[in-house]
């Protein structure tokens, strides 16, 4: 007998990128794929001490706990957000098993089959997958280097009457771009005008290479500054990139009714996330200077990004360009027209370097000559060799491209 999978399961295909990441596991492969933070940056000793403190406080940490999450941690998170200019209350917050669960819960409580969601073009792949799993329909809004184009956003708000606008405005996955303040305000205003909620996914926002030069307030902060009453922005972030992903702790900050309904959904989904991890994070924040640690990570990541882009620049690849991100974990490569990223991926695998083609990051028709490079995970000492391999992959592409020409002549 064949199992009668639900439509939801049928709309949850195995991710192409997931399969690519498995290729990245092959022996000897240097991977610039994936979205992993540097393992060397995890504050292991401070985390160890934090768990120790939790267990010293007794067995309450081991019992069932409330769905909304450990309240003292919510208080700490709210304080940190307030310090960054984002009005926040622990009562308007739900702790989650990382940002991925935040996205899933928001889609769960808002999307019916056929509902539209507007997304950046390109956008975070796993968000597209979650939207698809709820049988929602993602529509890409045209973007430039400063964010969504307001005219495209308004046109699509009118055309698709979406339930949600999903954005990743600060050091976007996959592009590493940052929305300008103006574009942020415009998106906030347009979504208010059309009564559409924004889901602001902000896992990388604190990883800033030049914090003082960046004018990128959270859309949630701009919304709060511009409008009375409950927020129109559902803000989600995580400790995965600032502390460590293994603790699986993120949060949703939103209007009270959104938090209430999301908490009900979470109760059905898993009752609550690990209370031990939540208490350990709380203990960590009590003594550990997380802001100093974030500055350290940011400097480390900036150095990695510079090393990589300088090595790439020395190769003078014809027609290949990239941005220089001001933070986050990714940079975005543009290949010459006609050089398919999927082909370059294949040549890369043959040369034992893994870079993800950009195709999968688009809601609609993809750009076929983009690639995402992660610069935070690979050992910096391997970067020269990684670039040599990329170079050989590019040479292979040129060689095969010329032989194609011969054949077609």
Q: Which of residues 190-219 bind a second copy (CB under 8 A)?
A: 195, 197
Judged by CB under 8 A, does residue 5 bind a second copy? yes
Q: Give the range of 37-45, 291-299, 308-316, 345-353 binding a second copy by CB under 8 A.
A: 37-45
Closest approach, Cβ 139 to a second copy, in A, equals 17
Judged by CB under 8 A, does residue 39 bind a second copy? yes
Closest approach, Cβ 371 to a second copy, in A, equals 21
Which residues touch 370 (CB under 8 Å, ≥6 apart)?
122, 174, 332, 333, 334, 335, 341, 357, 358, 359, 361
Judged by CB under 8 A, does residue 134 bind a second copy? yes
Distance (Å, rounded) from C-alpha 137 to C-alpha 68?
Answer: 29
178 three-class SS: strand
Distance (Å, rounded) from C-alpha 345 to C-alpha 24?
Answer: 11
Site for a second copy in 243-272 (CB under 8 A): 244-248, 255, 257-258, 261, 264-265, 267-272
Judged by CB under 8 A, does residue 382 bind a second copy? no
Which residue, 144 or 257, has its beta carbon nearer to a second copy? Answer: 257
- Kindly tell me which residue out of 64, 114, 292, 405 binds a second copy, with binding defined by CB under 8 A: 64
Judged by CB under 8 A, does residue 387 bind a second copy? no
Judged by CB under 8 A, does residue 275 bind a second copy? yes
Distance (Å, rounded) from C-alpha 165 to C-alpha 190?
Answer: 11
- Kindly tell me which residue out of 73, 77, 95, 126 binds a second copy, with binding defined by CB under 8 A: 126
- Phi, psi (5° rounding) for residue 129? -70, -40
Cis peptide before 174 (omega within 30 of 0): yes
Could you count the other beta carbons within 10 Å of the beta carbon of residue 226? Answer: 12
- Kindly tell me which residue out of 63, 316, 365, 408 binds a second copy, with binding defined by CB under 8 A: 63
Closest approach, Cβ 107 to a second copy, in A, equals 8
How far apart, in Å, are the Cα atoms of 136 and each of 202, 233, 385?
A: 22, 19, 42
Which residue, 177 or 266, has its beta carbon nearer to a second copy? Answer: 266
- Kindly tell me which residue out of 20, 93, 97, 348 binds a second copy, with binding defined by CB under 8 A: 97
Residue position matching structure tokens 């430039």: 144
Judged by CB under 8 A, does residue 372 bind a second copy? no
Distance (Å, rounded) from C-alpha 80 to C-alpha 86?
Answer: 9
Which residue, 203 or 358, has its beta carbon nearer to a second copy? Answer: 203
Closest CA relative to residue 363, chosen from 135, 169, 123: 123
Judged by CB under 8 A, does residue 137 bind a second copy? no
């Amino acid at each position: 007998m064949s199992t009668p999978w639900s439509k939801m399961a049928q709309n949850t295909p195995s991710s192409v990128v997931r399969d690519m990441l498995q290729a990245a596991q092959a022996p000897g492969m240097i991977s610039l794929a994936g979205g992993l933070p540097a393992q060397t940056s995890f504050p292991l000793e401070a985390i160890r001490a934090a768990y120790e403190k939790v267990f010293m406080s007794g067995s309450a940490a081991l019992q069932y706990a409330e769905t909304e999450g450990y309240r003292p941690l919510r208080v700490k998170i709210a304080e940190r957000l307030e310090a960054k200019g984002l009005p926040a209350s622990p009562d308007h917050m739900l702790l989650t098993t990382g940002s991925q669960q935040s996205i899933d819960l928001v889609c769960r409580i808002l999307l019916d089959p056929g509902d539209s969601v507007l997304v950046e073009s390109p956008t975070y792949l796993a968000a597209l997958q979650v939207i698809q799993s709820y049988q929602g329909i993602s529509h890409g809004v045209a973007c430039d280097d400063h964010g969504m184009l307001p005219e495209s956003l308004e046109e699509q708000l009118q055309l698709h009457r979406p339930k949600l606008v999903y954005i990743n405005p600060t050091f976007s996955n996959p592009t590493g771009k940052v929305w300008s303040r103006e574009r942020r305000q415009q998106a906030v205003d347009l979504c208010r005008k059309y009564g559409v909620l924004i889901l602001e996914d902000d896992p990388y926002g604190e990883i800033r290479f030049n914090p003082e030069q960046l004018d990128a307030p959270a859309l949630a902060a701009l919304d709060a500054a511009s409008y009375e009453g409950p927020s129109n922005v559902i803000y989600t972030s995580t400790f995965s990139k600032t502390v460590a992903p293994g603790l699986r702790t993120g949060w949703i900050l939103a209007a009270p009714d959104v938090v209430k309904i999301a908490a009900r959904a979470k109760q059905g989904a898993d009752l609550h996330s690990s209370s031990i991890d939540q208490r350990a994070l709380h203990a960590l924040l009590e003594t550990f200077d997380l802001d100093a640690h974030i500055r350290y990570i940011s400097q480390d990541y900036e150095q990695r990004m510079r090393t990589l882009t300088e090595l790439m620049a020395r190769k003078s690849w014809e027609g290949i360009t990239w941005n220089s991100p001001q933070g986050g974990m990714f940079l975005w490569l543009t290949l010459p027209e006609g050089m398919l990223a999927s082909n370059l991926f294949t040549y890369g695998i043959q040369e034992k370097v893994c870079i993800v083609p950009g195709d999968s990051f688009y809601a609609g028709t993809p750009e076929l000559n983009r690639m995402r490079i992660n610069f935070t995970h690979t050992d910096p000492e391997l970067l020269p060799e990684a670039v040599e391999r990329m170079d050989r992959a590019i040479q292979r592409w040129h060689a095969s491209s010329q032989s194609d020409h011969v054949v077609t002549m």
